[in-house]
Structure formats: structure tokens, C-alpha cells
Structure 1
């Protein structure tokens, strides 16, 4: 929650946000995780897929999609997301 709360109003791009996500959450978790089957490369793929050098980066708020005037990114668990439609989904373990 702390990571997400620092994202609000940060002005980060869709490229910068997963870089910070990887640095602050994935890297420390990877160091202590017991499951070697985690999909660690998913975050790296998102970083690569939003490369500003290749003109693929967009503002994070644009990437977050339909905010319906709330000004917030919607968080849902897998179970609470049933029946909801999102333009983009970020899954974490």
C-alpha cells in the first residue's frame, strides 16, 4: 500500500512506474522468495514494452485507463474483479 500511495500524483510514466515497482518490491521479494517458479520477467517485459527510446511510453494515468472521474487506480483481487472490465491489468504475487 505504501508503494501505491506514493504513486498518486507522482507524474510517473508507464515506463518509470514498473522500474520503481521492480526496484522497490520485486527485487527485495525475489531475494527472499522460496518459489523459483515466479514470473520475475513479467515486470521486465513491461519495462521493455514501455521504452521511451522506442516512443512506447505513456503517462501512467493514461495507462491506468478508465478512472471514471475518481482520479485513482482501481485495485481488485482476482476474486473481486469478476465481471469487471479493465483496459490494462497488473498482476502481482
Structure 2
């Protein structure tokens, strides 16, 4: 499985999203077939936090895709992150792990 870094192909979107954030933020966009991934990493006085949103408008996100992006893009174990599915089937992954979500998917 391979996700292509398409950050440079979406400079306007990246600039817009960076203006919305607070503090120091790094944004990356990845794509594979119809699956898109937005990865953000920021730091502030509380430390470093990472967030990833995964979307596929044609089908549900596969468990293998979730595991791949956690281990290969975020560089974490699935046990160390929180995973939440929104009502529109977008997968949201956060690190460090939230106390309110158990990370199961």
C-alpha cells in the first residue's frame, strides 16, 4: 500500500488551512485511489499533537488503510492513538490518545 504526498499540488488549500491554525503547524496531504488523508502536526505550550483525517467518498475506509497511515505516516502504534468515525464516515485519528476515546476501530 502506498499513499502519494500531494501537498505541493494543493498549495492554496494548505495555505488556507495553516491560516486557520494556532501556533506552529505542519500540514500534509496524501492520496491513494479515492482515499485522501490530511495529516497535521502542531506544537504549543502543552507539547506536540497530531491529527489525521481519512476520507473516501466512494466507499468506507478499510482497516488496513487506517493501520497503514497510523504506522507509516504518523509513525505510531494503533494502541497509542484515538480513532473516531464522524457521522459522514470520515475517520479522525489523534495523538496523544484522548482519555475519552479508546482507539478501537
The TM-score with structure 1 as length reference comes to: 0.30
Larger RCO, structure (CA 8 Å, separation 6 or more)? 1
Which one has a larger percent strand, Structure 1 or Structure 2?
2
The TM-score with structure 2 as length reference comes to: 0.28
